[in-house]
Amino acid sequence: MLDTPLIDAYLLKLFRFRTRAFLHMEDAPGTVPPLPRGSPGYLYVHIPFCEVLCPFCSFHRVQHRHSQAERYFTALRREIRLYHAAGFRFTGVYFGGGTPTVEPQDLVMTINLVRELFGVTEISVETNPKDLRPDVLGPLRETGVTRLSVGVQSFDDRLLREMDRYEKYGSGAETTGRIRAVAGMFPTLNVDLIFNQPHQTLASLERDIAIFRGLGANQVSFYPLMTSPTVERRMVGAMGLPDQRRLRQFYHTIVQRLGREFRPSSAWCFTKRGQGIDEYIVAADNYVGVGSGAFSYLDGTLYSTTFSLAGYEQRIAQGLTGITTCHHLSDTDRMRYSLLVRMFGLHMDEAAVRAQHGAKFFRKLWGELLTLRVLGAARRDERGWHLNERGMYWLMLMMSAFFESVNNYRDAMRAHVNQELHEPTTMCPPIGGTLSPAPAK
């Protein structure tokens, strides 16, 4: 009765309404933000270069050019030093993109710098199937990478062709062989897969899950295909558009097929029981994003850096960070954000949120918490709130709505620097310079 498209639509509408102000960004000075209170956070490093630009991709990425990428890495290292000099400390670092392994030597140099400055113990790096080579991965292992994440998307050759990845990154069988060959090389080996692709059938999804389980990888991030107006325009010709009515069945299949061997570590990340670290950087109370098109969240303020690569280099040369916009979330929005990211991570510790927000957290968000209870999405015990499978599905929907609002923001920001990114002029116009509705990338 509750698991109906009508309830899904109602919840999504309510969620979008409640979070509509999250990304109302304003101009920000480019100086290093104030040091946040509390424990050291996470560092996110964005590398926006790729060999091919996949039509479905919603991230900030450009065609890889060696000389530009070299200059970019030099600027990145300068920006990282700036945060260190200002007193920032991090326990972990996440290199995302784009494709961080496009310049392996520069990547290793940057990882070494982060280790030297901050003594990080968790180092996560994204890559593509083609870069699973000894000359790329050997140095990454030596430098202490603890988690390697490979973008596969599907093992189905038809879908890979539609995604324009078959030629460049190899067939499903080739990718399977490459992943098997590197399994065990890093403490965590994650595979990214996308479900609800327009021409994906249930049988094709089940085959992807079965192949994944035979790889020896110990983590999978199963993303629902997320779009934005710009992404949709690119996808229409190449691969069609997703049908949201299939989401529930696809998601249920994933959870059921992975369930025994893999525990959910967020609503879309599943880790082999007893192993691995999670991809879930947004759950960190504070994180700093460096590079072009990166987000930071510090003491309730969201920051974004410039999407112009030339602009980024200039700002760094002037001794600034890449930050160009920010938004101070209201008290209630900070609590809503906390609720979203914690529940997406499946558990919310009551003592931790009370320490962070005070007892008012429960007064202000009583409606949201009551909804979780009434819909049977979560149970509460003496430690806090725990999401069940039904709740995981709704949180997956909400997180994708949140990321889609980030995609809208990226579209608008990238439209300003269209020529520089060599994108076809199908961008939507910026929404009056300001934006309506997050973040890891």
Ligand X SMILES: C[S@@+](CC[C@H](N)C(=O)[O-])C[C@H]1O[C@@H](n2cnc3c(N)ncnc32)[C@H](O)[C@@H]1O
Point out which residues bind ligand X (CB under 6 A): 50, 56-59, 96-99, 126, 128, 151, 153, 192, 194, 223, 225-226, 231
The region of 38-46, 92-100, 193-201, 320-328 touching ligand SF4 under the rule CB under 6 A is: 92-100
Q: Which two tokens stand for residue 290?
A: 């460096």
Which is closer to ligand SF4, CB of 151 or CB of 345?
Answer: 151
Nearest distance from C-beta of residue 27 to ligand X, angstroms: 27
Q: Is 167 helix (H, G, I), strand (E, B) or coil?
A: helix
Which is closer to ligand X, CB of 59 or CB of 303?
Answer: 59
Residue ranges in 200-301 assigned as alpha helix (H): 202-213, 229-238, 247-258
Nearest distance from C-beta of residue 214 to ligand SF4, angstroms: 23
Which is closer to ligand SF4, CB of 137 or CB of 160?
Answer: 160
In this structure, the strands spanning 287-290 and 41-47 are parallel
Nearest distance from C-beta of residue 79 to ligand SF4, angstroms: 21
207 φ, ψ to 5°? -65, -40
Residue 99 sits in the site that holds ligand SF4 (CB under 6 A):
yes
Rounded to whole angstroms, how far apart are CA atoms 423 and 414?
A: 9
CA 427 to chain centre: 22
Nearest distance from C-beta of residue 99 to ligand SF4, angstroms: 5
Q: Using an 8 Å Cβ cutoff, are 193 and 225 in contact?
A: no
- Per-residue contact track with ligand SF4, 145 to 184, x per CB under 6 A? ------x---------------------------------
Q: Using an 8 Å Cβ cutoff, are 21 and 333 in contact?
A: yes
Residues 31-60, interacting with ligand SF4 (CB under 6 A): 50, 53-54, 57, 59
Which is closer to ligand SF4, CB of 96 or CB of 345?
Answer: 96
277 binds, among ligand SF4, ligand X, none (CB under 5 to 8 A by kind): none
Rounded to whole angstroms, how far apart are CA atoms 303 and 25?
A: 8
Q: Using an 8 Å Cβ cutoff, are 42 and 92 in contact?
A: yes
CA 140 to chain centre: 21
Candidates 97, 100, 242, 439: give the one binding ligand SF4 (CB under 6 A).
97
The region of 9-17, 93-101, 180-188, 374-382 touching ligand SF4 under the rule CB under 6 A is: 93-101
Q: ω before 97 within 30° of 0 (cis)?
A: no
Nearest distance from C-beta of residue 223 to ligand X, angstroms: 4
Rounded to whole angstroms, how far apart are CA atoms 395 and 268?
A: 9
166 binds, among ligand X, ligand SF4, none (CB under 5 to 8 A by kind): none
Nearest distance from C-beta of residue 190 to ligand X, angstroms: 9
- Per-residue contact track with ligand SF4, 110 to 129, x per CB under 6 A? ------------------x-
Nearest distance from C-beta of residue 119 to ligand SF4, angstroms: 29
Q: Which residues of 167-204 are buried (b: 16+ CB within 10 A; e: fewer)?
A: eebbbbebbbebbeebeeebebbbbbbbbbbbebeeeb
Which one-letter DSSP state was computed for residue 33? P
The region of 97-105, 201-209, 269-277, 404-412 touching ligand SF4 under the rule CB under 6 A is: 97-105
Size of the site for ligand SF4 (CB under 6 A): 11
223 binds, among ligand SF4, ligand X, none (CB under 5 to 8 A by kind): ligand X
Nearest distance from C-beta of residue 132 to ligand X, angstroms: 10
Contacts of 120 (CB under 8 A, 6+ apart): 43, 90, 91, 92, 93, 114
Which is closer to ligand X, CB of 221 or CB of 321?
Answer: 221
Q: Using an 8 Å Cβ cutoff, are 205 and 160 in contact?
A: no
Rounded to whole angstroms, how far apart are CA atoms 37 and 428?
A: 38
DSSP one-letter string for 161-178: HHTT-HHHH--HHHHHHH
Q: Which residues of 71-86 are buried (b: 16+ CB within 10 A; e: fewer)?
A: bbbebbbebbebbbee
Q: Is 287 helix (H, G, I), strand (E, B) or coil?
A: strand
- Residue with token string 């995981």: 392
Which is closer to ligand X, CB of 84 or CB of 213?
Answer: 213
53 binds, among ligand SF4, ligand X, none (CB under 5 to 8 A by kind): ligand SF4
Residue 61 sits in the site that holds ligand SF4 (CB under 6 A):
yes
Nearest distance from C-beta of residue 400 to ligand X, angstroms: 8
The closest of 309, 285, 282, 299 to 33, measured between CA atoms, is 299
194 binds, among ligand X, ligand SF4, none (CB under 5 to 8 A by kind): ligand X
Nearest distance from C-beta of residue 342 to ligand X, angstroms: 22
List residues binding ligand SF4 (CB under 6 A): 50, 53-54, 57, 59, 61, 97-99, 128, 151
